[in-house]
Structure 1
Amino acid sequence: MFTGLIEEIGKLQRIESRGEALVLTISARKVLEDVKLGDSISVNGVCLTVVSYNGASFSADVMPETYRHTNLKKLTPGEPVNLERAMLAGGRFGGHIVQGHVDGTATIVSRTPEANAVVFRLRPEQTHLMRLVVPQGSITLDGISLTVVSAERTSGTLTVSIIPHTLAQTALEHKRPGDTVNVENDILGKYIDHLLHDRHGSQPAVQTAAAASSGLTEAKLREFGF
């Protein structure tokens, strides 16, 4: 489990491709301080397993399922990536519950300065993901724990506002309109959505776009005892 607070920006050194299977080698420093084989490290929000390492880099396998559902396949050598080690049981919980299990990707539509912040508007490439996006709720973009500013169902877009510190300390600083980010919806929303749709014999939003038309209502919550 992760918190969505990025520890450092790594750099992709090398990418080995075998069809839809990849091996990423990433240069880093902080996340290597206590690394062991088999440790989990979030790379742009994707939980990957360390398969080898030295004092300056680590390597991780990317399986076909991860290849198909994340933006890792679009990475090129030299590109910056967000890195976070798995959360320690005794550590501070500064972000929100992040699993590193990416639900899909989103394209950056615009990047607009607003006073001391930068507002990013994004459109999920899997439109059903918008169902679980809640204004003032939590969302993970490329591994970063962020607060949703707005969610517009008609346009299928969401916005987040980024403070200067977050922009400077993450690879989001290098993202521009047209680029993609990995999206992980809030785990609490995913479980509630799954529970409600399982009781009705239908599929949850994170599995099929067909479920996007049946919303979570106050009546449904009362029906299930909430």
Structure 2
Amino acid sequence: MLELRSVDAGYGSFQALFGVNLEVKAGEAVGVIGPNGAGKTTLMRVISGLIRPARGSIKMEGVDVLTTPAHRIVSLGIAHVPENRRLFPQLSVDDNLKMGAFMKEARHKYAERLEIVFELFPRLKERRYQMAGTMSGGEQQMCAIGRALMSDPKLLLLDEPSAGLAPVVVQQVFELVKRIRASGLTVLIVEQNVQQVLRVVDRAYLIEAGSIRASGSSAEMLASDTVKEAYLGV
């Protein structure tokens, strides 16, 4: 479904990604793990068109993402839940969800998608007319994921969904990821909570200093000495 080949990217003269190769197949959940500053968020921004790579290729179901205007990338079926959620805090939950369905292709499915989001997140239905900025961190994360799902994506990009949340809420977020996966949606998730994410994905990539250092099934990554020493405290 998604294929990155030899991607270099950064910000001005600062290079954050070096020759990244990554693949996500339809129906998979794939994790990207690594330390702070490894390039994980840059990777997500490159895929969703927020920044353009200096070199390399990105294809979504065979379509060249790099020649697609940034505002049209969501129409390829890519929805990005950014780090720190990036909701519109002064708008209601309802209006934030409407923003997720702004693409022409998504508008006629609005009622159907809203029903799906409310079924997945009953709390959002309860808070429908509440200002998004007044909700708890966990509720805001639900709203951010719900907003992305409103576009009826094929691929959901989740950037650090557990960041800044209390441990009990982190558990809830990963349960939600499992439910999203069970619905058949393809997921690429960037996460520092290595043990948690490796329990919900099929495969994972380890990125360090902007380069892919290792990859394998979730079981292989959990058994990897490199991952154990660096991230699991073993």
Q: TM-score, normalised to structure 1's length?
A: 0.25
Which structure dedicates a bigger proportion of its chain to strand? 1
Which structure dedicates a bigger proportion of its chain to helix? 2
Q: TM-score, normalised to structure 2's length?
A: 0.25
RCO comparison, higher one (Cα < 8 Å, 6+): 2
